[in-house]
């Protein structure tokens, strides 16, 4: 199943394209949203690579990356709102 690797590389290329928005974004919200999307796409690419290589450890890493991305986004939004 080489298509899993193709899809994972496509997701990683899309997240490399999103670094442009992180670097250029006019304000902080654009950067936070783009980095949250990069987190999620990295997690999906890790899932696909884990299914290709047959090792279960990458699934745990993908779960941790998704969880930390969610916590980071909520934390940044609380800080911007002024309630942290």
Partner 1 sequence: MRIIVDIFLIFGCFFAFAGTVGIIRMPDSFCRMQSSTNIATLGTLGAVLGGAVYSFWSGNIGTGVKVLVIGMFIVLTNPIAGHAICKAAYKYGIRPDKKFVCDDYGRDIADGK
Site size with partner 1, rule: CB under 8 A: 45
**CB 10 → partner 1: shortest distance, Å?**
5
**Residue 23 binding partner 1, by CB under 8 A:** no
Count other C-beta atoms under 10 Å from residue 46's C-beta.
22
Cα separations in angstroms, 70 against 11, 33, 49: 19, 11, 22
Q: How many CA atoms lie within 13 A of 22 on its CB side?
A: 14
**CB 29 → partner 1: shortest distance, Å?**
4
Show Cβ contacts of residue 56 under 8 Å, excluding neighbours closer than 6 positions.
Answer: 50
Question: For binding to partner 1 (CB under 8 A), which residues are involved?
Answer: 1, 3-4, 7, 10-11, 14, 17-18, 20-21, 26-30, 32-34, 36-37, 40-41, 43-44, 47-48, 50-51, 56, 59, 62-63, 66-67, 70, 73-74, 76-82
């Amino acid at each position: 199943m080489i298509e899993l690797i193709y899809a994972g590389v496509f997701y990683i290329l899309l997240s490399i394209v999103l670094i442009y928005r992180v670097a250029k974004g006019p304000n902080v919200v654009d950067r936070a949203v783009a980095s949250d999307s990069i987190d999620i796409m990295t997690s999906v690419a890790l899932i696909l690579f884990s299914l290709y290589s047959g090792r279960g450890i990458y699934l745990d890493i993908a779960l941790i990356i998704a969880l930390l991305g969610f916590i980071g986004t909520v934390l940044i939004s609380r800080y911007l709102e002024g309630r942290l």
